[in-house]
Structure 1
Amino acid sequence: MAGRAAWACRAWRPPLRRRLDGPPRALAGAPPRRLFSGPAVQVELQEGAGVAVMKLKSPPVNSLSLELLTEFTISLEKLENDKACRGVILTSAVPHIFSAGLDITEMHGKSPEHYAEFWKAVQEMWLKLYKSSLVTVAAINGSSPAGGCLMALSCDYRIMAENPKYSIGLNETQLGIVAPFWFKDALVSTIGHRAAEQSLQLGLLYPASDALKVGLVDQLVPEERLQSAATQVMAQWLATPDHARQITKSMMRKEVVDRLLKHRDADIQNFVQFISRDSIQKSLQMYIERLKQRKT
């Protein structure tokens, strides 16, 4: 896997789309055209609408492995460079799960070099999604703990299926792990400092109805209407001229992005040191054993 996640770290400037701004074209009526599909990510573009649907498809639970993270980042970069694409709906092809978060096996029993490569891939996924010039709508069609929640938080708008069995939140402390500062920054920017403090310390997973109340998601809809609702929201966002929306987005998110870019190497080193501790490795081992017991 070495070398898959080697990306250049560049200063962030407000991106400008290479197209004429204007009202969005119809989002319905045109069959989807598949752009590319890898082992873990499937991407389709609606012809004439400029909207891609990106589906995570790494069963059983869309764990964010190094492979999935790398493929996701490359796929999003392709869409960023596609002049026909203005927005992305992010969802899951796996029933009842959006993403179970970071792949625990990537953080257990590996070398420090592997941990560093993996964490750099996590950083790159977040940076690419959080500062994307595209309109990003998360259609959350299942539970979304930890890193899955982070992906949803990184989008411009979040719609969740109204199902009492689905939950979302940054529950790292429940696993004995501390969410890094940029996870925290993204959550504080979304739900406010006090709610974020409680959420992070207790590792809360919010049922869909509570996630709406706290502001973690923007809308709840019946599961069968999730994609159509995401399409409607996308049309509303695309009605804004691209250049004005992109500059505003970059202005709102620049401080959070710049903080990670400034401390990126230190963040990787801190992660490697933390995850390499014997106590943390034992905690992860116990969690992996519990997962195996559930499967059997």
Structure 2
Amino acid sequence: MALMAFVRVPARALPRPWALLRGAALGRTEAAAGISRGARRFGSQRVLVEPDAAAGLAVMKLKDPPVNSLSLELLTELVISLEKLENDKTFRGVIVTSGSAGVFSSGLDLREMYGKKPAHYAEFWKAVQELWLRFYQSPLVLIAGINGACPAGGCLLSLTCDYRVLADNPKYLIGLNETLLGIIAPFWFQDTLVNTIGYRAAEQALQLGSLLPPAEALRVGMVDQVVPEDQVLSAARSVMAKWLAIPDHARQLTKNTMRKATADRLLKLRDVDIQNFVSFISRDSIQKSLQTYLEKLKQKKG
């Protein structure tokens, strides 16, 4: 297949956009001064970080309306924001939530996977991998305050966290629903869900592309707590206090031990995973399926 000539590129050779944006994406006043001094909010175009130095935590809000689709730019800015907090010893925990009403994140931006060149698909998938690796292995306590719908890549982002609080709204469905779009969840998506809810429940949910309402998500363990919509952040803060009461070194070593095998599996197969993704997403049948879905979305908006 002619496309394969484009995809056999080692992952390490691909551009690392987060390295290029490190200075430009963040407000330089806060970046230069250090966020711990004034504890002022900082951020980029698509991510707002509200530090609470006294509590040792920060609230990271996805702000890329209307639905916080995980574009290459948003993926990059999330990684940069997390890295900045990790590098400041003031902060021991992060609450990841949404600044857009009714949606946590709609998932991966399908526009990044349609009508582009193989090199772009490879760059985009590298960024998706990087987001998962950085959030899944973060030494900080990560709590997802899920205050809206949370399908596909949005669900994956929440699953990287240590604890998930979901708003009790029947419209706020959560799950890895890739099969409904005619695509498949990669092995590391699958591994993350298996680690969270167990093999049989994960197998069924992945094959059916299940999107679960709050009560069902809580029952299977996809989320840890369901609370009234106006209490998501306060509940997340209460849970964070419990986690931060544990000595960091003990908790971090335990987290690393528990998650290392899952992360190492992707690290070992990272280049292959990129090649497989580019090969799969470039198929005519998949491109036609994505085209149909994107056209339906346009019609709904219209």
Map residues 128-143 of structure 1 onto 2, 5 A cutoff. Answer: 128-143=134-149
Task: Tell me whether 1:122 sits opposite 2:128 in the alignment.
Answer: yes
Distance in 1 (CA, whole Å) between partners of 2:119 and 2:128 is 14
SS of residue in 1 equivalent to 2:68: coil
Contact 1:52 1:89 in 2 (8 A): yes
Is the counterpart of residue 218 in structure 1 residue 232 in structure 2?
Answer: no
* 1:50 Cα deviation after fit: 1.0
Q: Normalising to structure 1: TM-score of the pair?
A: 0.90
1:3 aligns with 2:15: yes
Query: Aligned in 2, Cα 1:63/1:39: closer, same or farther, shift over 3 Å?
Result: same
**TM-score using structure 2 length:** 0.88
Q: Match for 2:166 among 160, 163, 167?
A: 160
Question: Which of 189, 192, 202 is equivalent to 1:186?
Answer: 192
Aligned pairs for 1:1-296 (under 5 A) are 3-5=15-17, 33-296=39-302
Q: 1:198 & 1:171 partners in 2: Cα distance? A: 11
CA contact (8 A) 1:100 1:145 kept: yes
Q: Letter of the 2:17 partner, please give it.
A: A
Count residues in correspondence.
Answer: 271
RMSD: 1.2
Alpha-carbon shift at residue 6 of structure 1 (Å): 6.5
Aligned residue type for 1:247: L
**2: distance between equivalents of 1:48 and 1:203?**
42
Provide, for residues 156-205 of structure 1, a one-character-per-residue CA deviation record: whole Å limited to 9, x for no partner.
Answer: 00000001111000000000001000000000000000000000000000
Aligned partners of 1:142 and 1:166 also within 8 Å:
yes
Q: Distance in 1 between matches of 2:221 and 2:201?
A: 10
How far apart are 1:48 and its partner, in Å? Answer: 1.4
1:288 corresponds to which letter in structure 2? L
Q: Is the 8 A contact 1:5 1:120 kept in 2?
A: no
| Sequence identity percentage | 67
Aligned-residue offset at 1:44: 1.2
Instruction: After the TM superposition, list the runs of 4 or more consecutive aligned residues in structure 1 that deviate by more than 4 angstroms.
Output: none
